[in-house]
Structure 1
């Protein structure tokens, strides 16, 4: 049967077959396809003449196209001086489909409009709407609420959540000229970029929710972004199960050391058995040096970096800018959050919440 169409992805090629017996579609890793190219066989004996170890693992094709009769795919790998392409017959792909009719776990969502609402358009109490949104999507951006943080705390607290005071205080004034909070010697009080992380991973029970309420936007930069780490974990498990297994079983050390505060906690990054449900602890700036057996250290770094690259991919992020009076509230057990660097007197107020 011919090939109906194909879909190139970052790590693999999905091939859809025309109707008939066998799989409707199949996924093939790019490296697997390159290793099985007919170009790398002896012209007389048809034996392999290239070992997979001789090929670059990150190789990606220059072009993929169907033949005119749709009976095969031609892939130009861009690595041959003679310009020849690899041809893969539809029947051969069907016969060797090792991931037939695979149903992948989707990548983390990125449409910021799906988590954004205008305060003036809500037809129910703000706190109730926010709590329901957190349960559904893990994050909510509300435009045009106003700058009264205490009123916002009251609205959210009315739905069974209470403010959690931390070593920063009850409300954090995230600004470069902060004089109101304790322990301000951390990245959040600078104008530097802060990459994706969860807050307070060094606590036995990190605060469940965080509110970021914009009092004054930056002159330039200072954009926010969040990532659904639960979706990212499922997506990683679908792409690279060994990496996923390491992230949920290998304990790492989080060490927060400031002038007047120090805390250490050891835990896996992904915890699916935590009280209250899934919990991620992820903070590159509070990680202590990794301590793994010599023979396991490289595998650990590959797993960690695979996840980091996945969540740092902008295609998997909700990205937005908070203007004066806007706020973001997110589930700190599920979501990663970050901001870009900025100029100007940006001022965002931070408040932690948990179940009352």
Structure 2
């Protein structure tokens, strides 16, 4: 039963078998393969001499190849002084396969070009077509609109979006020398890097959309990253269902405390039952200390950290740099956003929007 192709992933290896065979492919975790290596058995009794607890969970092989006869898999784990590789015959792999013909959930998208448009080339400037793209992807990057934020607000208002004033004011001037906004004692008004987060997770209903309109780019740095957290949640569920279930069921506390503002809200990070659809609340800098039963705390941190590593992986991010006149608008209920550290007088204007409330059901 020949092996025809290998697809290595971070956590597992997909092995394809010859056409016509059943199954067509099977997935094996790297750790499972390492734990079941014949190199870790006694040469006379063939009993295991290594327990799984002695092996690191984040194993990555040095080299993987199909044997010359195509009936076996060879893996060099890079941890043996004798340089020997583990061999797994195709027949053995199929006999012990535990994930056959699995259809994995796709990783979060990262093709920034697919969500970027040039304002000069739009058939209908920020009309229904552009907003349909925003609804479908959760993000829209527009190049070359110009610097008039009020004109941009008017354009979006004509499409049914309403400005939401927050404790920062109507428009946030995100710049290190800000003297006009309220409650500027937070990271957005510094030149520090800000990792992935959602805005206003401590509000019962966070604003649905955020607009970031670049007035002046930084001298260096200040790049943006956006992640589709809905896609990331489904991807996590496909890789690690217990972690996903913890993130959607464990309540955590978000606490924003500033000189003139304080709010506290308790909610799971992933909320598939929120009014209006999926909602993620994710903000490491407004998380209060976790309170879990002692026997559950480590499992909670493992789940949270697994998700954090997934979304912080640059392969799962839209990454771009806004220039003067460009803007980004994204769905704050679905997407995470971040920026890199910067130098210079970077100036970005932030505005929150919401959609009209649904009409009440008839009595």
TM-score in same-fold range (> 0.5) = yes
How far apart in 2 are the matches of 1:296 and 1:34? 28
1:271 equivalent in structure 2? 271
- CA RMSD in angstroms, aligned pairs only: 0.8
Alpha-carbon shift at residue 42 of structure 1 (Å)? 1.8
3-state SS of 1:110 partner: coil
How far apart in 1 are the matches of 2:28 and 2:20? 20
Alpha-carbon shift at residue 134 of structure 1 (Å)? 1.4
Matches within 5 A, 1:206-221: 206-221=206-221
Q: Structure 2: which 5+ residue stretches go unaligned?
A: 357-363
How far apart in 2 are the matches of 1:183 and 1:19? 63
1:338 equivalent in structure 2? 338
304-313 vs 51-60, which moves further:
51-60
14-23 vs 247-256, which moves further:
14-23
How far apart in 2 are the matches of 1:114 and 1:195? 23
2:10 equivalent in structure 1? 10
3-state SS of 1:27 partner: strand
1:56 equivalent in structure 2? 56
Alpha-carbon shift at residue 108 of structure 1 (Å)? 0.6
How far apart in 1 are the matches of 2:127 and 2:297? 45
Alpha-carbon shift at residue 322 of structure 1 (Å)? 0.3
Alpha-carbon shift at residue 129 of structure 1 (Å)? 3.3
How far apart in 1 are the matches of 2:270 and 2:225? 20
How far apart in 1 are the matches of 2:111 and 2:131? 20
3-state SS of 2:162 partner: strand
Matches within 5 A, 1:55-204: 55-204=55-204
2:303 equivalent in structure 1? 303
3-state SS of 1:206 partner: coil
User: 1:267-301 deviations in whole A, cap 9, x for unaligned?
Assistant: 00000010100000000000000000100000000
How far apart in 1 are the matches of 2:130 and 2:336? 18
How far apart in 2 are the matches of 1:268 and 1:5? 41
Deviation beyond 6 Å, 4+ runs, structure 1: none
How far apart in 2 are the matches of 1:195 and 1:127? 31
How far apart in 2 are the matches of 1:349 and 1:57? 44
Alpha-carbon shift at residue 351 of structure 1 (Å)? 0.3
How far apart in 2 are the matches of 1:309 and 1:170? 34
Contact 1:128 / 1:156 at 8 angstroms: preserved in 2? no
Matched positions, count: 356
Contact 2:201 / 2:254 at 8 angstroms: preserved in 1? yes
Indicate how the Cα distance of structure 1 residues 176 and 155 shifts in structure 2: closer, same or farther if over 3 A, else same: same
Alpha-carbon shift at residue 127 of structure 1 (Å)? 3.9
3-state SS of 2:248 partner: helix
How far apart in 2 are the matches of 1:305 and 1:243? 9
3-state SS of 1:286 partner: coil
How far apart in 2 are the matches of 1:327 and 1:21? 51
